[in-house]
């Protein structure tokens, strides 16, 4: 019997003729009989499940946990279908084992500018090098996950796929490149691999479908929305606290929260007016459901940054030549409507051109142990001007301006197992988190306090000015006083003539950093990926090279070892 058909524990009907004491006893008795019955059923199910016989190695490359979670899901389903999956983090995969493999799948994301995620970097380098062996006995399939708004869409997965083929490996099933909406293509790929291996998969688990997830978000209540920057700052960073009461929203320090934004109602009205369409008319939205056009514009359609495919489809209808990619930079749907006008005589043809809005991720800045029933975020509100128009980041300004009442946030937890405080409570932690990058480290510190972890903690924080941009100053200073935060290095870049950043502080502190690393410290980085993370990476390498008196290669090997031991962890965006 599949798990999904398991029954709920029986309870007595409300009108059963028993006293409350008798009822309590009988309910307890029924529950214990039911528990025994469930155990027997489970054992029977396990005995009837297909025996896992076909070995398959499942490798994953992931920065923020998506590919890792999908690899686990693939393995779970594969097991039920008769596969014997061996799931391995690419950072831990012995490269020499590759030539021994017969069945292999790789699930990987792409990071940076078309780069492999950190844990896949060494394998990527090996596979694409001359050292990679011939793989004529290997059959494989790749699931590549990425975001088509990046120019190098799914590049890492594409490179793995092409190289494996070049080395003589045969495809079990074609590579699928998943965009941000990865669920359906992932399901197609999983099914495709299982079918192509001549196996039969059981029906999906209904329990999984009903729990809180990206597909099934939870509505939470905004309980705090505080501007963390003081008057005069050029930045607007907000502490956003959300309450989920007793709902089963489970998260750990290091996880991110996925938030579905609600578009700005003023912008929605402007779009409706410009198109001369009726917001109260019913349309079929991206999710296949019927709703008013206004509702779909508020919650379903991506009306922020322009997507290339949308622009192509739009200009085709408007019978104009599509603009070059430069046009997409800094423009939104409202610009397209003005610059490439279309007269829609009905609402549906417009709706059919729209792309689904994506949830945004935010590193969680609370520990569930310190704030049960709550989840906190540190949100940088994105506001800027381009082409003579004030623009607002879709989700950050939704959270900053109107995530209340009918617009309450719909959220889910995005697990990131690769970004956790050390499991060893006495291991030292070095955390580098300028700007909103501070978020997970507030959570890490709260977690270490709540669990009375004894390891030393060192935080590097930076922002423009100490007087206006010292985020969480009170909390951090009290952590210092309590002895929780043993070292605290700040880099307020514009407090002096010469700009100073966290990477400069790291270089200044190189001897002590190296000492901590030698003592087994974990090194964490969170925040800006485009510049800060790269500069910090270089500063770390330099600190190791100079303080360890190492050659460049030795310092690189040291950094790689930190990565392999999961002591160098990055959550950058
Ligand atoms: C794992 C992870 C963790 C994250 N954690 C956090 C966090 O803790 N806190 C946080 O604030 N964010 C965090 N982010 C980023 C967050 O997910 C959003 O990307 C961010 O809030 C912007 O989303 P938005 O919808 O407000 O902006 P969007 O509507 O998506 O607009 C952003 C886009 O606007 C454009 N843009 C922005 N500024 C300018 C400018 N000055 N000129 C021209 N164009 C511009 C850029 O094209 C940019 O990509 C995280 C991201 C990831 C992946
Ligand atoms: C800083 C950053 C850079 C990214 N670069 C790319 C890219 O070059 N190409 C791509 O297809 N996706 C890119 N992505 C999107 C990720 O691949 C995508 O979010 C994926 O789901 C992450 O999976 P993971 O959690 O397993 O790492 C990038 C995402 C971030 C935050």
Which ligand sits closest to the CA of 573?
A: 2
| Minimum CA distance residue for ligand 2 atom 22 | 109
Q: What domains does the chain contain, in order, with CATH numbers?
A: 3-48 (no CATH), 54-209 (3.40.50.360), 218-261+359-414 (2.40.30.10), 265-353 (1.20.990.10), 429-572 (3.40.50.80)
Listed residue (364, 525, 367, 567) closest to 449, CA to CA: 367
pLDDT at residue number 300: 97
Which ligand sits closest to the CA of 143?
A: 2
pLDDT at residue number 480: 98
**What is the distance in A from the centroid of ligand 2 to the CA of 81?**
30
Residue 147, number of CB atoms within 10 A of its CB: 14
Assigned token pair, 475? 């909390």
Assigned token pair, 50? 């297909």
* Residue 120 and residue 108 in contact, taking contact as beta carbons nearer than 8 Å: yes
User: Measured between alpha carbons, how far is 432 from 502 in angstroms, rounded to an integer?
Assistant: 7
User: Measured between alpha carbons, how far is 3 from 38 in angstroms, rounded to an integer?
Assistant: 10
Which atom of ligand 1 lies closest to the CA of 392?
29
To test ligand 1's pocket by mutation, which of 362, 389, 530 has the most ligand atoms within 8 angstroms of CB? 362
Backbone angles phi, psi at 540, to 5 degrees: -65, -45
CA torsion, ordered 468, 472, 477, 482, to nearest 10 deg: 180
Q: Is 358 in the pocket of ligand 2 (CB under 6 A)?
A: no
**What is the distance in A from the centroid of ligand 1 to the CA of 70?**
24
Mean pLDDT of 291-301: 98
| Minimum CA distance residue for ligand 1 atom 49 | 305
* Residue 506 and residue 517 in contact, taking contact as beta carbons nearer than 8 Å: no
In terms of phi and psi (left: phi > 0; alpha: psi -120 to 50; beta: otherwise), the region of 194 is alpha
Q: Where are the beta strands (DSSP E) in 470-509?
A: 487-492
Q: Is 203 exposed, middle or buried (0-12, 13-18, 19+ CB in 10 A)?
A: exposed
Question: What are the angstrom distances between the C-alpha of 64 and each of 144, 375, 571?
Answer: 14, 18, 7
Q: Is 110 in the pocket of ligand 1 (CB under 6 A)?
A: no
35 pLDDT higher than 80: no
To test ligand 1's pocket by mutation, which of 112, 393, 399, 411 has the most ligand atoms within 8 angstroms of CB? 393
CA torsion, ordered 41, 43, 49, 50, to nearest 10 deg: -160
* Residue 193 and residue 141 in contact, taking contact as beta carbons nearer than 8 Å: yes
* Residue 487 and residue 459 in contact, taking contact as beta carbons nearer than 8 Å: yes
Which ligand sits closest to the CA of 533?
A: 2
208 pLDDT higher than 60: no
Which ligand sits closest to the CA of 234?
A: 1
pLDDT at residue number 34: 74
Q: Is 237 in the pocket of ligand 1 (CB under 6 A)?
A: no
**What is the distance in A from the centroid of ligand 1 to the CA of 514?**
33
Mean pLDDT of the chain: 93
Q: Is 68 exposed, middle or buried (0-12, 13-18, 19+ CB in 10 A)?
A: buried
* Residues pairing with 431 in the sheet: 459, 524
pLDDT at residue number 152: 96
At a CB cut-off of 8 Å and minimum separation 6, what does 33 contact? none
The SS3 assignment for 515 reads helix
Q: Is 193 exposed, middle or buried (0-12, 13-18, 19+ CB in 10 A)?
A: buried
**What is the distance in A from the centroid of ligand 1 to the CA of 359?**
11
pLDDT at residue number 490: 98
Mean pLDDT of 513-524: 98
Which atom of ligand 1 lies closest to the CA of 385?
42
Which atom of ligand 2 lies closest to the CA of 180?
21
Assigned token pair, 322? 């599509």
Residues above pLDDT 70, as percent of the chain? 95
Q: What pLDDT digit, counting tens, does each position of 375-415 carry?
A: 999 999 999 999 999 999 999 999 999 999 999 999 999 99
């Amino acid at each position: 019997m599949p798990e999904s058909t398991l029954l709920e524990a029986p309870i007595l009907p409300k009108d059963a003729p028993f006293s409350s004491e008798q009822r309590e006893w009988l309910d307890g008795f029924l529950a214990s009989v039911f528990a025994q019955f469930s155990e027997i059923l489970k054992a029977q199910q396990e005995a009837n499940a297909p025996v896992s016989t076909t070995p398959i190695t499942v490798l994953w490359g992931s920065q923020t946990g998506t590919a890792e979670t999908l690899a686990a899901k693939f393995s779970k389903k594969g097991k039920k279908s008769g596969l014997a999956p061996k799931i391995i983090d690419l950072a831990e995969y012995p490269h020499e084992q590759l030539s021994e493999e017969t069945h292999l799948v790789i699930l990987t994301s792409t990071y940076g500018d078309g780069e492999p995620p950190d844990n896949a970097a060494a394998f990527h380098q090996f596979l694409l090098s001359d050292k990679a062996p011939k793989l004529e006995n290997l059959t494989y399939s790749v699931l590549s996950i990425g975001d088509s708004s990046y120019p190098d869409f799914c590049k890492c997965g594409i490179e793995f796929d092409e190289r494996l083929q070049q080395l003589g490996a045969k495809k079990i099933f074609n590579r699928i490149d998943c965009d941000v909406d990865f669920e359906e293509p992932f399901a197609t790929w999983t099914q495709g691999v299982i079918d192509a291996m001549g196996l039969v998969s059981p029906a999906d688990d209904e329990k999984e479908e009903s729990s809180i997830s990206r597909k099934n978000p939870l509505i939470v209540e905004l309980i705090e929305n505080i501007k963390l920057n003081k008057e005069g700052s050029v930045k607007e960073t907000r502490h956003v606290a959300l309450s989920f009461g007793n709902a089963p929203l489970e998260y750990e320090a290091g996880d991110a929260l996925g938030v579905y934004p609600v578009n700005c109602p003023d912008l929605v009205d402007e779009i409706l007016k410009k198109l001369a369409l009726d917001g109260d008319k019913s349309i079929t939205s991206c999710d296949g459901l019927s709703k008013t056009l206004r509702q779909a514009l508020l919650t379903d359609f991506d009306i922020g940054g322009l997507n290339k495919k949308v622009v192509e489809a739009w200009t085709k209808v408007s019978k104009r030549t599509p603009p070059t990619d430069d046009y997409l930079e800094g423009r939104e749907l409202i610009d397209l409507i003005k610059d490439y006008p279309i007269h829609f005589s009905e609402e549906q043809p417009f709706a059919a051109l729209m792309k689904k809005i994506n949830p945004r991720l935010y590193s969680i800045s609370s520990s569930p142990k310190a704030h049960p029933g709550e989840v906190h975020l540190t949100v940088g509100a994105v506001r800027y001007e381009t082409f003579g128009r004030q623009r607002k980041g879709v989700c950050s300004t939704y959270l900053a301006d109107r995530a209340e009442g009918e617009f309450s946030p719909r959220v889910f937890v995005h697990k990131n197992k690769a970004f956790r405080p050390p499991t060893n409570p006495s291991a030292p932690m070095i955390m580098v988190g300028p700007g909103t990058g501070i978020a997970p480290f507030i959570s890490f510190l709260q977690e270490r306090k709540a669990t009375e972890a004894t390891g030393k903690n060192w935080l590097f924080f930076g922002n423009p000015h100490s007087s206006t941009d010292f985020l969480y100053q009170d909390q951090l200073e009290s952590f210092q006083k309590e002895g929780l935060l043993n070292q605290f290095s700040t880099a307020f870049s514009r407090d002096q003539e010469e700009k100073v950043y966290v990477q400069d502080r790291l270089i200044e502190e190189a001897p002590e950093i190296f000492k901590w690393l030698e003592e087994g410290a974990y090194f964490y980085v969170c925040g800006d990926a485009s510049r800060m993370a790269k500069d910090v990476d270089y500063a770390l390498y330099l600190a190791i090279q100079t303080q360890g008196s190492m050659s460049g290669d030795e310092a690189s090997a040291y950094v790689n070892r930190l990565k392999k031991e999961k002591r160098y962890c990055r959550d950058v965006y």
